[in-house]
Amino acid sequence: MELKIYNTSGSETGRTITLDDSIFAIEPNDHAIYLDCKQYLADQRQGTHKSKERSENAHSTRKLKRQKGTGGARSGDLKSPVFVGGGRIFGPKPRDYRFKLNIKVKRLARRSALSYKAADNMLTVLDAFNFEAPKTKKMIEVLNNLKINDKKSLIVVDKPNNFVSLSARNLQNVKVVSVSELNTYDIVNAASLVLCEASVPELNRVLAAK
């Protein structure tokens, strides 16, 4: 698969880049994408939720009424879940939501997500960001030139770049990641994927079938 390379002015550079078909043109595996996104979202959960159960409530253990002769059901103390302020039945407890996923499945999921973007023409290759300082205005200008300013965009660079990251930090619909930080959820969640030219060989190295 060949794509044209654009510059930050939105113009074609006259050069093309060949994308590896084993990464950008495979038959997507939807279940692998689902599992990888599920794991990513599970990892974001703190798991610190907690409610008090019957044994943890600070109420008196005094019996509220006699057991027989009232015409109603028996009742214990105020800690009972049937009373307002009582303990909760089977309430949430702190837990770890993370689960294991094989690296080959995660790699397949990323290749599948990239193949979807390539097939849907949501992929743009940029020669390089020539930012000399962090400038949000400059990033907005680049997005306007590429005609993706109104889309949720994911920018992939070959290695962490503070100038690019800080320029996009205040833009709600733009996220900048390096190849090592790229995950399936971010790819699926973006309406436009911008790859720096230097990031393509790094993607080939990281996502190559092994």
Residues 124 and 105 placed together within one structural domain of the fold: yes
pLDDT of residue 161: 87
pLDDT of residue 210: 59
pLDDT of residue 209: 63
3-state secondary structure of 203: helix
Residues 153 and 73 placed together within one structural domain of the fold: no
Residues 57 and 83 placed together within one structural domain of the fold: yes
Domain span holding position 24: 2-45+98-207
Residues 113 and 11 placed together within one structural domain of the fold: yes
Residue closest to 31 by CA, chosen among 125, 106, 124: 106
Q: Are 35 and 99 in contact (CB under 8 A)?
A: no
Q: What Cα–Cα distance (Å) separates residue 108 from each residue in 1, 24, 69, 103, 114?
A: 18, 11, 69, 9, 10
Residues 56 and 86 placed together within one structural domain of the fold: yes
3-state secondary structure of 58: coil
pTM: 0.83
136: β partners: none
Distance CA 49, CA 96 (A): 11
Residues 23 and 124 placed together within one structural domain of the fold: yes
pLDDT of residue 107: 94
Residues of the chain with pLDDT under 50: none
Count of structural domains, the chain? 2
Residues 65 and 109 placed together within one structural domain of the fold: no
